[in-house]
Amino acid sequence: MTAKILDGKAVAAKERQRSAARAADFVSRYGRPPGLAVVKVGDDPASAVYVRNKRKACEECGIASFAHDLPATTTREELLALIGRLNRDDAVDGILLQLPLPKGLDSTEIMDTIDPAKDVDGFHPINTGLLAQKRPGLRACTPWGVMRLLKEYAIDVTGMRATVVGASNIVGRPMALELLLARATVTVCHTGTRDLQGEVQRADLVVAAVGKARYIPGIWIRDGAVVIDVGINRLPDGKLAGDVEYAPAAERAAWITPVPGGVGPMTIAMLLSNTVDAALVRKGADVG
């Protein structure tokens, strides 16, 4: 068996086009574009790349991007004051706090002060709680992007045995909630899991979100399974690799996401979608 590719680049492009059309409609109705404030603290090189890509994506979709690049010496009080101003700013529909923050700043504390209605990352405990209660509002971008990708390829997860490897608040836990909402039977694996190999081998759908290159051997993948690889890891030779050993996994799986070009593009696409959604909800309009 040779796996079919879940092309995140192509699906993300379609989603961006949809967001651009919705943003243009928002401008015609309300006289301003949806607005996203991106807050970056410090000089982390990876963060600089991510932020630049997000701001470029906003520009391409007709979303106003408000840049707040702060020095690493920014204090807790200064950062909280900025978040407070952005919460009150009517031109700002979404707030994105780029992680990681410099040492001495508690990312959980800071993120918890973001207005849940502007939490376009979907990380606020209120938005996570709504998802857990089957009342989703703003959803974590990467898991939401995975669900959008599966939908595009008409992969119905209802009844599937889904195994999520990784239990982070950013990907693993909300991913499990998304799959549960879609009526899959979900197992979450973490550092306390006793038989990771067995859990992966039993799965119809594997979502790998560990952040360790080729952590899951490809031979663990069940014949005909769907493999969603969230990991983006840079190897010593500079190449990128996912959390799953790709070549042997692709020989067994029915569907697989490549790295790069799989889940990564979907994350930014859903950030744009969330921003338009947040703008519409704040106006009392239907998100469509």
Classify strands 161-165 and 185-189 as parallel, antiparallel or unpaired: parallel
Handedness of CA 30, 116, 69, 232 (dihedral sign): negative
- Of the ranges 43-52, 94-103, 241-250, 273-282, which one carries the lowest mean pLDDT score? 43-52
Q: Where are the beta strands (DSSP E) in the chain?
A: 4-5, 35-41, 64-70, 94-97, 161-165, 185-189, 205-208, 226-229, 233-234, 240-241, 255-256
Instruction: Quote the CA–CA distance of 264 and 88 in Å, as a whole number.
Output: 31
Q: Model-level pTM?
A: 0.96
Q: Please check the confidence at residue 250 and state whether its pLDDT lies above 70.
A: yes
Q: Where is average pLDDT lowest: 7-11, 146-150, 233-237, 275-279? A: 233-237
Q: Copy the structure tokens of residue 107.
A: 């990312």
Residue type, 28: S
**pLDDT tens-digit readout, 54-93:** 999 999 999 999 999 999 999 999 999 999 999 999 999 9
Catalytic residues: 54, 98, 121
Please name the residue that has the structure tokens 């709504």: 130
CA–CA separation, 189 and 225 (whole Å):
17
* Cα–Cα distance, 280 to 137 (Å, whole number): 12
pLDDT value at residue 46: 86
Instruction: Give me 90's structure tokens.
Output: 């009517």
Q: If you search the block for the tokens 């879609």, which residue do you land on?
A: 182
Q: Please give the average per-residue pLDDT across 13-27, as a whole number.
A: 98
Structure tokens at 75: 């204090």
